[in-house]
Amino acid sequence: MKVHFQQVVKAIILLAFSAMIASLHVTDNIQKFINPKYEYLSITASLLFFMLFIVQVTRILSFSAVKHHHCSHDHEIKLFSYIIILLPIISGFVFPAQLMDAAMAEKKGGVLMLAKQQQAKIEDYLTTNEPIVENIYDAEPDPGLLEGKQEMTKQEYDTLKKQLVAKPIIQMTDKDYTIYYEDINNNLSTYIGRKIQLKGFILKEEDFAENQLVLSRFFITHCIADASIVGFLAEFPEAISLQEDTWLEAIGTLAITELNGSYLPVIKIEEWVQIEEPQTPYLYPIDIFLSP
C-alpha cells in the first residue's frame, strides 16, 4: 500500500476551494463579489469542488506496485503551481472583502461615464427651451425600461408606473433606480423641473465647481469586475465641506447642465442628510416579465 503525497495535496486544495466558496456564502460576504442573482452558480461550484474532492480521495491510496505517472514531473514546478493555486484560497480566507469606493469609481471612468445622454434630444430641448410636453405614461411601456434581471411582474411594473405619475417625487429606490435612471437619461427634457429623491456616495472630480459633487452608485451585472458607475451630478452650497465616499440621501429638482462639453442632468439639492453606508450598496439589473 502506498500513499500518494501529491494526490493528498490536490485533495486538500479541492476541499479548500469548496470550503472557501461555502464560507463566503455562510457569512453573506459573497454579495461583495457577485450579483446575488448568480449565487446559485457559485454554490454549484462549491458542490462540484466537493464532489471532485471525494473523487480525489479515492486516488490517495493505491494497493498495486504501479508507479504513478505524475511523480516523474519536475517537483519544483509542481510546488510552484500549488503555491499559485493556493493564493486565492489564502487571500479569500485571510483578507476581508472590500466594498468598492470612490477611488475605484475613479478607476472605472468616474463622472465621464455619466454623460450618456442622447445629444440630439437635448439639443432639441435647448433650442425650444421649454419642456417637450408628452405624457409618456399613457403609452405602452417603453421597451427601453425593460432592462436587466431581478424579478418584477407586469403588475408590479404597472403599479410602479402609476406611482411615478401620481407621486410628486421620483423616488430612486434600489429596485427602481436603474429603470428611472435609464429613462431620465434618455428623455431628460421630460423630467426637467421634477423632484427627485435618491441616495448615493459622494464622488468628486478636479474640474467640478465648489458646489458640485456626484451622488453615485455602482451597477453590477455579474461580478464587481464588471461594475459601472451610475449617478447624478448634484449642486448645493454645502457640497464643498463633504468628503468623498460619504453616503447621502437627498431631495432636489432635476435640471440640465453642461460639463466638459457634454450635457447631463443635474440635481439642485434642496434637502439632504448624511446616512450610513447601506447594507446593499450596489445596484443590479432588473427584469420585468411583461407576460402576466
Partner 1 sequence: MGQFIYRSTTWSILAILLLLALAMNVSTLHTSILNLNTIFLSILIEALPFVLIGVLIAGFIQIFITEAHIQRWIPKNKALSIIMGCVVGALFPACECGIVPIVRRLMTKGVPLHAAMGFMLTGPLINPIVILSTYMAFGNDLKIAGLRMLLGFCIAVIVALMIGVFFKGTQFKKEPFHPNHTHLTTNASFFAKLLHMLQHAIDEFFDMGKYLIIGAFLAAFVQTYISTKTLVSIGNDLPSSMLVMMGLAYILSLCSEADAFIGASFSAMFPSPAILAFLIFGPMVDLKNTMMLLGVFRLKFVIWLVMLIATVVYGSLLLLAHGGIL
Restricted to residues 191-220, the positions that interact with partner 1 (CB under 8 A) are 219
What distance in Å separates the CA atoms of residue 247 and residue 273, rounded to the nearest whole number? 9
Which residues, in sequence order, are CB contacts of 147 under 8 Å at separation 6+?
178, 179, 182, 285, 286
154 is written with which cell numbers? 407586469
256 binds partner 1 (CB under 8 A): no
Q: How many residues appear in the chain?
A: 292
Restricted to residues 139-178, the positions that interact with partner 1 (CB under 8 A) are 143-144, 146-148
CB of 224 to partner 1, least distance (A): 5
CB of 271 to partner 1, least distance (A): 30
61 binds partner 1 (CB under 8 A): no
Q: Which of 98, 127, 241, 243 binds partner 1 (CB under 8 A)?
A: 98
34 binds partner 1 (CB under 8 A): yes
Query: Where does residue 210 rank: exposed (0-12), middle (13-18), buried (19+ CB within 10 A)?
Result: exposed
To the nearest 10 degrees (0 to 180), the angle between helices 5-26 and 75-94 is 20
Q: 55 or 165: whose CB is closer to partner 1?
A: 55
- Size of site (CB under 8 A) for partner 1: 71
CB of 34 to partner 1, least distance (A): 6
Q: 187 or 212: whose CB is closer to partner 1?
A: 187
Q: 17 or 236: whose CB is closer to partner 1?
A: 17
Q: Which of 58, 128, 155, 280 binds partner 1 (CB under 8 A)?
A: 58
Inter-residue contact 4 to 72 (CB < 8 Å): no
What distance in Å separates the CA atoms of residue 166 and residue 160, rounded to the nearest whole number? 10
Angle at 102 between CA 101 and CA 104, to 5 degrees: 70
